[in-house]
Amino acid sequence: MTEASAKNLLALCLDTMETEQIHIRVNGRPVTVAAGTLLAVAIAQAGETSFRHSVRNESRGPLCGMGVCNECRVTVNGQLHIRSCLTPCEEGMDVRTQ
Ligand code: FES
């Protein structure tokens, strides 16, 4: 890839991120984020600090940010144990912390 084409690709990505908005719900609360935003970011933007609870009922949240620790798991559209640090937001998602 040439430098010019890389710059064009970057500009296209930035334009998309700036113009396209995704609407989801986090624990019933509406959240609007830029397209491409990861669920973990959207959940934090919604003000949630506890993504799930351990077996000892301790609050947990994202730790590694790369899909290894499983501390960021949430329920998405009824599907349990979705790693929010790896999952991009999609229009209309219903996200529940666990
Ligand atoms: S933050 Fe570790 S798996 Fe998501």
Q: What is the pLDDT of residue 18?
A: 61
| pLDDT tens-digit readout, 12-71 | 555 655 679 999 999 999 999 999 999 999 999 999 999 999 999 999 999 999 999 999
Confirm whether 11 is domain-assigned.
no
Confirm whether 6 is domain-assigned.
no
* Residue among 59, 72, 74 whose CB has most ligand 1 atoms within 8 A, to mutate: 72
Task: Say yes or no to pLDDT of 2 above 80.
Answer: no
Q: How many domains does the chain have?
A: 1
Q: What's the rounded Cα separation, in Å, for the pair 18 and 1? A: 24
Place of tokens 């912390």: 97
Q: What's the 56 CA to ligand 1 centre distance in angstroms?
A: 19
Nearest atom within ligand 1 for CA of residue 85 = 4
Range of the domain at 74: 21-97
The token duo for 83 is: 């790693």
Q: What is the pLDDT of residue 63?
A: 97
Smallest Cα–Cα separation from 88: which of 42, 30, 20, 26? 42
CATH code assigned at 92: 3.10.20.30
Q: What is the pLDDT of residue 19?
A: 72
